[in-house]
Amino acid sequence: MSREIAAPGPVRAAGALVFAQGVAALVVAVIALVRGIAGGAPGDLAYGEAGIFAVIALAFGAPGLLLWQGRRGARNGAVFLQLLVLGGVWYQFNPAESLPVDLLFTAYCLAVLVLLFRASSRAWAMGVTEEESQQPR
């Protein structure tokens, strides 16, 4: 019973937030590349770091863009990536050094997850309208 239903606002907002994470990773990749070219860091290290962040940028940018366009399959990837970031943030948690940064990243990821798990977002992911998802079967 899957049919084309326009992506609700929360899904599009989540897509924009995930895409912004991809853009941030791309900025870090460019900075690492420039540092490697300028000699501010060992070349091999800087180029490797730039390559890794380019892959991360693609991994976040693609689901973000696809969510923005209203593609249902990208929701799973976006949820997985947010859970992955949350796990990484709290694995490295140290309240003495980076509590504000950890809380900021946590709030950002939780905001994306809340948007993707709202009733309208879940109904859209199932291919039904919100009203149809609440009807008893």
121: left (phi over 0), alpha (psi -120 to 50) or beta: alpha
| pLDDT exceeds cutoff 80 at 53 | yes
- Reduce the DSSP state of residue 113 to 3 states and report it: helix
Domain ranges of the chain: 9-128
Looking at residue 93, its pLDDT comes to 82
Place of tokens 């049919």: 3
Report the predicted TM-score, pTM, of the whole model to 2 decimal places.
0.88
Looking at residues 18-34, what average pLDDT do you find?
Answer: 96
